[in-house]
Structure 1
Amino acid sequence: MPLAPSFSAMFTTEDNVRIDAAHTPPRRAGDLGIVLAHGFTGSLRERSTRRITHVLSGFGGVISFDFRGHGRSAGESTVGDLEILDLDAAVQHARTIGYARVAVVGFSMGAAVAVRHAGWHGQAGGPGENGRLRGGPDAVVAVSAPARWYYRGTRPMRQVHWAIEQPLGRWAARVGKRTRIRKGVWDPVPPAPYEAAAHIAPTPLLVVHGDADGFFPLDHAYQIYEAAREPKELWVEPGYGHAESAATPGLIRRIGGWVSANS
Structure 2
Amino acid sequence: MRQQHQRGQHRTRFRVRRQQQQVKGHGPPPLVGCATRLSRRIASVAQKSPFRNTRFTHVGQLTQDGVALDGFHCAPYSPADLGVVLAHGFCNSVSTVSFRRIASRLGVQAGIVALSFRGHGRSGGRSSVGPAEVNDLAAGVHLARELGYRKIATVGFSMGAAVTLLHASQHVVDAVVSVSSPSRWYIRQTPAMRRLHWLVEAPLGRRLAPVLGVRLGEPWATIPVSPVEVVHRIGAPLLLVHGERDHYFPAEHGLALERAAGERAELWLEPGMGHAESGVTPDLVDRIGTWLNRTCIQTSMQQTSTRAVACRQ
| TM-score when normalising by structure 1 | 0.90
Matched residues in 2 for 1:38 and 1:63: separation? 12
AA paired with 1:156?
A: A
Q: Which residue of 1 aligns with 2:200?
A: 164
Q: Give 1:173 deviation, angstroms.
A: 1.9
| TM-score when normalising by structure 2 | 0.76
Q: Which residue of 2 aligns with 1:251?
A: 284
Deviations 1:152-191 (A, max 9, x none): 000000011011011221222202x22101132x233221
Matched residues in 2 for 1:3 and 1:257: separation? 23
Q: Secondary structure at the match of 1:174?
A: helix
Deviations 1:198-256 (A, max 9, x none): 1002x000000000000001110011111113322100000000000111100011011
Larger radius of gyration: 2
Matched residues in 2 for 1:28 and 1:230: separation? 33
Counterpart of 1:239 (choices 272, 289, 292) is 272
AA paired with 1:111?
A: A
Counterpart of 1:210 (choices 212, 232, 243) is 243
1:7 has 2:57 as partner: yes
Q: Secondary structure at the match of 1:76?
A: coil
Q: Secondary structure at the match of 1:120?
A: coil
1:221 has 2:271 as partner: no
Q: Give 1:262 deviation, angstroms.
A: 1.2
Matched residues in 2 for 1:231 and 1:213: separation? 24
RMSD: 1.2
AA paired with 1:210?
A: G
Q: Which residue of 2 aligns with 1:129?
A: none
Higher helix share: 2
Q: Which residue of 2 aligns with 1:142?
A: 178
User: Which 5+ residue runs of structure 1 have no aligned equivalent?
Assistant: 122-135
Q: Which residue of 1 aligns with 2:218?
A: 183
Matched residues in 2 for 1:206 and 1:161: separation? 28
Matched residues in 1 for 2:138 and 2:63: separation? 8
1:174 has 2:210 as partner: yes
User: Which 5+ residue runs of structure 2 have no aligned equivalent?
Assistant: 1-51, 297-313
Q: Percent identity?
A: 47
Deviations 1:91-131 (A, max 9, x none): 1110011000010010000000000100122xxxxxxxxxx
Matched residues in 1 for 2:158 and 2:173: separation? 18
Deviations 1:63-90 (A, max 9, x none): 1110000011000000001000000110
Q: Which residue of 1 aligns with 2:21?
A: none
Larger RCO: Structure 1 or Structure 2 (Cα < 8 Å, ≥ 6 residues apart)? 1
Q: Which residue of 2 aligns with 1:194?
A: 228
Q: Which residue of 1 aligns with 2:25?
A: none
Aligned residues: 245
